[in-house]
Chains A and B, each alone.
Chain A
Amino acid sequence: GAVVSQHPSRVICKSGTSVKIECRSLDFQATTMFWYRQFPKQSLMLMATSNEGSKATYEQGVEKDKFLINHASLTLSTLTVTSAHPEDSSFYICSARETPGTGVLGYGYTFGSGTRLTVV
C-alpha cells in the first residue's frame, strides 16, 4: 500500500533555532500534501496545503513566515519551524494526496506517522 514517511519522529530543539520536518511519499507521487498540528487532547488542525512547484496555502491564523513549507518535488514536502519557541511544541503530521494514476490508492490520501516537537 501507499506509504508516507515522516522524519524525524521526535525532535527536541532549543528556543530560537529552526527545525525541518520532512514528509516523503515512498511509492506514489503526491501533487498535494497537507500539514496538520495537534495540541494535547485536541483534534488535528490543518495548517497549510502544499502544492508541488507552487506556494503553499496557509489556513487563517497560521504564520507563513514562521512555518515555511517547501514542496519541491512530487514526493517530498518539508515544514520548517523557524525561530522555534516553547509554544510551538506540538505534534505535527502530514498527509499526502496521491496524484491520480500514479500509485496504488486510486486518488487516495495517506498520513505520515507524525513528528513530536519539543522546544526547550
Chain B
Amino acid sequence: KNEVEQSPQNLTAQEGEFITINCSYSVGISALHWLQQHPGGGIVSLFMLSSGKKKHGRLIATINIQEKHSSLHITASHPRDSAVYICAVRRIGNQFYFGTGTSLTVIP
C-alpha cells in the first residue's frame, strides 16, 4: 500500500466545472505539498500546507491533519488547467512521499 493515495487517477471535466482532487496519507507528516506537472514534465509547486486552507487564484487547498486528508479544488476550470496534479507529503524526518498523480483534462 502506498503511503499517499490520490483519487481520482484520471479526471475529465467541462470548462467551467468545479474540480476536486483528493489525497489521503497514512504517515505522520510535517507538511503536504500540491504539485502541478505539465505534459512536458515541468513541475510547479502550487501549495505547501501544514493546517487549514490556502487559496491562490482559482485554486484552493485544504488539509485535515486528524483525518490525514487533503483536497485540491479548482474553481471555474479552464483547458489550461489540464495537467497532472501530485500530492506529496513530507515526514518529520524530511522524507517525501509522492502520490501517483491525478491526470486532469479540461475540455473546452
Contacts and interface: CB of A to CB of B under 8 A. Distances in A.
Nearest to A116: B41
Contacts of B41: 38, 91, 114, 116
Contacts of A95: 96
Interface stretch (A60-68, A70-78, A105-113): A105-113
A110 B35 CA distance: 10
Interface stretch (B21-29, B66-74, B86-94): B86-94
A114 B86 CA distance: 14
Task: Tell which of B37, B42, B95, B96 has the most Cβ of chain A within 10 Å.
Answer: B42
Interface string B19-50: 00000000000010101010011111100100
Interface of A: 9, 32, 34, 36, 38, 42-46, 91, 93, 95, 97, 105, 108-114, 116
Contacts of B2: 43
A95 B48 CA distance: 13
A114 B38 CA distance: 11
Task: Tell which of B35, B86, B96, B99 has the most Cβ of chain A within 10 Å.
Answer: B96
Contact of B88 (A44, A91, A97, A113): A44
A72 to B, nearest CB: 21
Main secondary structure of the interface of B (DSSP, over half): strand
Interface residues of B, number: 22
A112 B37 CA distance: 11
A113 B42 contact: yes
Given A111-B35, A112-B43, A113-B42, A34 B100 contact: no
A32 to B, nearest CB: 7
Contacts of B44: 111, 113
A44 B43 CA distance: 11
6 contacts: A9-B42, A36-B98, A38-B41, A43-B2, A43-B100, A93-B43
Contacts of A9: 40, 42
Given A111-B45, A114-B42, A116-B41, A97 B94 contact: yes
A43 B95 CA distance: 15
Given A34-B96, A44-B86, A111-B44, 19 more contacts: A9-B40, A36-B98, A43-B2, A43-B86, A43-B100, A45-B98, A105-B48, A108-B31, A108-B48, A109-B33, A109-B45, A109-B48, A110-B45, A111-B33, A113-B42, A113-B43, A113-B44, A114-B43, A116-B41
